[in-house]
Structure 1
Amino acid sequence: MTPEPTLTYVYAVVVPTGELGDIVAGLRGVAGAPVTLLVADAPGADQAAPAFVTSQVPDADWREDALKSHFEDLAWLEDTARSHHHVIQGLMDHTTVLPLRMATLYQDSDRALAALREQHRIFAERLALLAHHTEYGVKAYVRPDSDVPAPDSAPAASPGKAYLQARKAQHHAREDRYRQARQAAERIAATAAQHATHVVRHPTQTGPLTRSDSGENVLNEAYLVPEDQADTFRAAIQQAGEDLPGIHIEITGPWAPYSFAMPPPQPTGTADEPGARP
């Protein structure tokens, strides 16, 4: 019976350690597939050999036409993202991890291995950057109007005048909260400059991506922080908003360094960043 054709799914690039083979052997990836290490020869005696963390997935479910359909299925996307992240998290405590984007695929292990060898220098540079660092997310929100007490109107004021006074007070309160947001952003930047090595500024979140009870998201950044600076960084960021009642600061992490996994986009005409699609 002819085996079903498969593709090679790649989760991450790692530097293998003595225990990593056993760790990987205990993981299951997308669609419950067993996870394995694909190791390239080291290009020099002084350089560690990189490895892809991979699994084999059915070609019928993962080739380009199938993925187009799957990407419209939110339940499939959520399950796949969780499985992808589960593998990354399982590696984080044991080695430096360079996460790759979900659905990074090669036609077979030989092509994946060729890409690993070809792009060793890029992978090695990025792994060196990420070693002994973790990612923290920092979001700042302008609190909603409902969180600000309504001003007391003068007893003798007419209903119309009281309404105008209230609207004016709300307008001033909103302006004050945005002033506080600028102040918080300046403080966060100054704090990060002391403790974080790199920053990625993500677009602010709107609609269903934003917690409705937090207010308007006005800052959405990711910081790469040395592990020995993590506690100090978190405390300093939290302190940045303590005297700004119109602002809510949210710190998340530590995370796998997804925001810092790949180099910035290359100018037009240069080679594509690492990773492949069917």
Structure 2
Amino acid sequence: MATYVIGDVQACLDPLRRLLDRCRFDPAQDRLILAGDLVARGPDSAETLRFVRRLGSVATTVLGNHDLHLLAAAQGLREARDGLEQVIGAPDAEELLDFVAHQPLAWYDASLDTLVIHAGLAPQWSLAQTLALATEAEAVLRDPRTRAEFLPQMYGNDPARWSDALSGVERLRFVINCLTRARYCTADGRFDYQEKGPPGRQPPGLLPWFAAPGRATATTRIVFGHWSALGQIEWPQYRVWGLDTGCVWGGALTALRLEDGALIQCDCHR
């Protein structure tokens, strides 16, 4: 059995199929973890969701910011564009949206000591707290009533720093922002959600979230997507792997085999 984690697909179904072929992925015995942003910007948002959904329990997608944007657009809170209209207008839209809403915000395998998220973590969060907070937010997103109440309040950059005293909407917004949008923070864990460039070009005082001093998850292997401008995949000094290699922009789609650390790629041509 092999476990493959694949970076941001963003509706690029053909590269996903080709990469799985290159990995010799066998759904009868292998596992597939997708690092979020299955939809938007690429040509096949609806078909990508259908493909992953048909894989059943062997495939898991951690939610990304574009996946959440799809849920908000379906509720009329944001414009349905960049291919999201394919999903919302599809005859099986209800099933596809329910599939998205029931995906996790974080995935962890203790035997491989590997955590998969879409974007980032607060430096104060331990592994156990990360998983607990993800579960807390997932419960809100999975219930149609609480999801409808929360999504209109999901957008916004505040609060920018974690506190265990956070509650209600502010607590949920921080958790979801961190797990699906984070790139940079200050040394004390205050997040800047505007800066998107590669490390080395950020304003003074900002660090990649994984380089924050004293990060409580420093001993856990973490795999994420979201940051196509990151500039490299493996950051061994931090035990993190960033798998968004810009497929939708004509870059590559990347898979990491967790059991032996092998990287497999296929080119993406728009």
Q: TM-score range by the shorter chain?
A: under 0.3
Which has the greater radius of gyration?
A: 1
What TM-score does the superposition give when structure 1 sets the normalisation length?
Answer: 0.26
- The structure richer in strand per residue is 1
- The structure richer in helix per residue is 1
